Every structure is written in C-alpha cells, then in structure tokens.
Amino acid sequence: MEQILALFAIFLAFAFSGKCSDVFSRSDYPEGFVFGAGTSAYQWEGAAAEDGRKPSLWDTLCHSRDQGNGDIACDGYHKYKDDVKLMVDTNLDAFRFSISWSRLIPNGRGPVNQKGLQFYKNLIQELVSHGIEPHVTLYHYDHPQSLEDEYGGWLNHRMIKDFTTYADVCFREFGNHVKLWTTINEANIFSIGGYNDGDTPPGRCSKPSKNCSSGNSSIEPYIVGHNLLLAHASVSRRYKQKYKDKQGGSIGFSLFILGLIPTTSSKDDATATQRAQDFYVGWFLRPLLFGDYPDTMKRTIGSRLPVFSEKESEQVKGSCDFVGVIHYHAASVTNIKSKPSLSGNPDFYSYMETDFGKSLDFQYANTPWAMEVVLEYIKQSYGNPPVYILESAKFTFQWQQIGTPMKQDSQLKQKDIPRVEYLHAYIGGVLKSIRNGSDTRGYFVWSFMDLYELLGGYEVGFGLYTVNFSDPHRKRSPKLSAYWYSDFLKGESAFLDSQGIKELQSKYSSSF
C-alpha cells in the first residue's frame, strides 16, 4: 500500500509535465547502455509462404479478419540488407527481432528448415558485421499452427518440451553472436488477449468477454500463463546447462506494463492499484523472482489458478536474467465497490475487481512519469532486477487500406513531431529512473519501421521509418523521429522546446 501511495506522489509531481525539459545526451547514460529499435517476424519479414515456412497462429487469425495480414508486410525477408544499412544510418547499437518458429521448424518439431535457418544466420551476420548487436525474441505470439491443431498449443503441457527443443536449435545455431535472448514476448498480453479477450492469436475467449467460437476465459489465461512460465524456466535451464559458459548470453522474459496510478488518493483506489499490479505484473514476475504467484491471485482465483510443485517453483525462481519491459502509457485505476459475481465463468477482469481509466489520449499521451512509475515499482517490489525497455513508442494514423495508392502527406514531418516529443520525454524519463537507482540497461524504440500491426493493420504506424505498403518494393523513408534519434545517438544534446522543434525541422527540411 505504501509503495502505491509513493508512486502516486511521483505521478502528482510529474502529471502536468508531458515533456522533458532537461538537457541530456547519450553520454549521460551508463557505460554499456544499449539503444536500439525493434520489429517482429510476422510484422516485418513477409515471405509467409516462401522457402518452406508454414502458417503460424498469426497467419490463421489475420486471414480470418478484415484487417490485412503479414503475407508480405515490410518484405524484410528480402530487404534485410537494406534495412541493416538504415540501422547503421540511424546509429543503432542493437536491433531487436523475433525468430519465426514456423520458418525455422515449420511443423513445430522435427527437421529444421535449412532455408529458414540460413535466413537468420545471414541476418545476424549482416548485423554483427555492421557493429549492430542482435537481440532475439524466441516467441512473439507465433507458434506453428500445426501444434495448435495437434494438441492445443500453450493449453497443453506438451508445448514446454517442443518450445525447449526449438529454443535449443536457436541457441546452437545463433548463440555465438546473440548475447540477449527474450523467451516470451508480452506473456501477460498473450495470455489475456489470446485466451480472455479473443483479440490476439489464437483468438479464444468466452462470455462475458466476447463470444468466440471456442475458449474459456475463466481458466485458460491462467493455464497458458503457467505453461509459459514453465517453458521459460525450461529454456533458461537448457541455456545455462549447455550454452552459457561458451556463449556468455543472458535470458529474459518480457511483459506489457502500464504506468498504473490510483484514480484518487483514497485507500480503496490504492488497494485496487496494487491488486491490478499483482494481476498484470506480479502474475509473472513474482514466480520468476520469488517462486510463486501473488497471494492476491491465489485468494481470488482459487483452484482455477494452477499450482507450482516444489520442484517447479525452484526451477522458475531465478530463471530470468533480466526483465523486458514493454511500456507505452499510463492508466488510472479505480476500485469497484460493487463486486461482480464470480459464479459461472468470470473472466480475467472480473477476478481483478478494478476499473481502468483510459490513457490521456488514444494515441498515447506523453506521460514520461509513467515510465518512471513502472521502473520505480519494479525496483521497489522486485529487488531491482536488470531491465531492458524492449518497446516504447507513439503511433500515428497514416495509412490507407493496403493495395490503394499511398497518400502523399506533405505534413508528414509535422505529424511526426508528437513522436519526437514522446521519445525525447521517455528516454529522459529512463535517465531519471537510472539516476534514482533503477538497473535499466537498454531502450528499444518500437518500431524501427512501420509494420503490420495486429490491432491496427496498416492504418497505424509506430516506425522511425515509413514504408509505402502499396509499392511492390516497399520503399522506406525516414521520419523526423528517425533523424532526431540518429542525432541523439551520435551524441547531440537532447532538448526540445518550440525552438528546438523548429531547428530540427529546418535541419532536415530538404529530406521531406
């Protein structure tokens, strides 16, 4: 309770300052701090049916909805060398990407697809030869559809063995050049979105969430979350036993973490905020760092929450070398005074018994204090583990439906000003957290270029670079944020007021 009220005080101190007014530069960050940008396989690669790749959960879900798909996406599979050149131009330290399990081992287990293997070897070699560190995510919502059809994917304990075998191939083949591995991307969002809400792969849910064709929102998110934790622990153990001494890498686990603050200073809202933190963050971090689920969840969910055996608890605890934080914005939390019925089939939100306010605007307001709240919460509640910010960004609406001519937006540089302000503010917020003792070691912009977005298709863009998705060649063009980030990574001091924005625009006016 005291921690939440302390975090609320941080919120009050910074709530009315959406911009970072401090002057700072890259040299202010600790030695070894990594700046990068990211993508994921399905969103960037394309070549969905080429060279032996078979469908994943993403393919199946996206082809069942009218929001486009990643069949071609950015065509990174064919254009990766050009993209690495852009990374060099942007002065990135590192590039975060995911490996497509269904490209590397198309059937989920069994023979390795040699063409898929060669693609990732080529990509990693291209990065390393240009001085860019590869940061690899093993799982980004995209196991082969064949495993889903055969035994239900993450709902089945068999997935742990197959995932460990797949990870072993990655460590064996790529580990000499990869030092940072993330096992699971956004484990909490995958479990909730895919098995409670039905919005993300594999699209399972039940009433009262939504009326999906299959699923059980009252129990499946917890089964999946449990198996994700056991799979992560198994993979971490495999790496430490077989590869760590030779390769010297680290194994992490990533979560989507909102900057949660109480709606009011009342004790009820503070308690509700702690409960929400337990459900969203503690659900995974407490087992990873302390060996068991939060007491709040165990009391509320009861027998529907799986139980770790003593051996499993020991294996999960301490299996994470770093925490990958995916953070975009803040949300306020209100206690629900009239408790919903937990009889029948209560969903994830019924158990949590809280109400979430919206972020300050749908496109993510500049609330850098929210980043500070997240990092302070992790420091205070979980023993200050090493942290990498694996995604953080602001999007803009800018694309027409794919297949139609791209709008020529003469105001593109103006439209990107909010993204520049966001990056400046949040990167500055990370620096403040480091100075306050947070062991944060890297910041990755989401995303390196505009991608196929699961919940937005091609109508929203998070990228530092635009991609003309109506052009068969998928032409890339830098946005104002790409120039700002590049300048910052070259060592230029970061300070943004109205004059600074004008100078940035003027400096690169000929590029638009």
Summarised one tens digit per residue, pLDDT across range 323-339 is 999 999 899 999 987 56
The CB density around residue 285, as the number of other CB atoms within 10 Å, is 23
For the chain, give the percent of residues with pLDDT over 90: 77
Contacts of 407-411 with CB under 8 Å at 24 or more apart are 410/512
Report in angstroms the alpha-carbon separations of 121 from 175, 178, 284: 10, 11, 32
Paired tokens of 253:
């686990």
| CATH of residue 279 | 3.20.20.80
User: Is pLDDT at 510 greater than 90 in this prediction?
Assistant: no
Helices H, strands E: what count in the chain? 21, 15
Which segments of 182-264 does DSSP mark as H helices, in order?
187-195, 220-242, 244-247
| Segment 156-201, tens digit of pLDDT | 999 999 999 999 999 999 999 999 999 999 999 999 999 999 999 9
Q: How far apart are alpha carbons 86 and 464 in whole angstroms?
A: 10
Structure tokens at 164: 């460990």
72 vs 66: CA distance, rounded Å = 16
Binding-site positions: 43, 140, 185-186, 328, 391, 446, 462
Q: Please give the pLDDT value at position 493.
A: 79
Nearest to 334 by CA among 278, 267, 283: 267
Amino acid identity of 330? A
| Domain of residue 362, residue span | 2-511
Residues with active-site annotation: 186, 391
**243-247, 300-304, 367-371, 502-506: which range is least confident on average?**
502-506
**Mean per-residue pLDDT for 39-59?**
98
Binding-site members for a beta-D-glucoside are 43, 140, 185-186, 328, 391, 446, 462
Are 48 and 56 contacting, i.e. CB atoms less than 8 angstroms apart? no
Residue 1: pLDDT band by 50, 70, 90 thresholds? low
Element (H, E) at 180: strand 180-184
As beta bridge partners, residue 184 has: 139
Is the bond preceding 447 in cis, omega lying within 30 degrees of 0?
Answer: yes
- With a cut of 70, say whether residue 291 has pLDDT above it: yes
Which residue's entry shows tokens 């009220």? 5
Q: Among 309, 276, 279, which Cα is nearest to 292's?
A: 309
Quick: pLDDT tens for 377-404. Answer: 999 999 999 999 999 988 776 654 554 4
**From CA 241, how far away is CA 235, in angstroms rounded?**
10
Cα four-point dihedral sign 232, 233, 234, 238? positive
The answer for residues whose C-beta is within 8 angstroms of residue 405's C-beta and 6 or more apart is: 470
Q: What is the mean pLDDT of residues 8-29?
A: 65
pTM of the model as a whole:
0.93
Across the range 54-81, mean pLDDT stands at: 96
Q: How many domains does the chain have?
A: 1
Distance separating alpha carbons of residues 163 and 159, to the nearest angstrom: 6
Identify the CA nearest to 52 among candidates 143, 121, 113.
Answer: 113
**Which residues is 254 bridged to in the sheet?**
324
pLDDT class for 501, splitting at 50, 70, 90? confident
Tens-place pLDDT, residues 430-477: 999 999 999 999 999 999 999 999 888 998 899 999 999 999 999 999
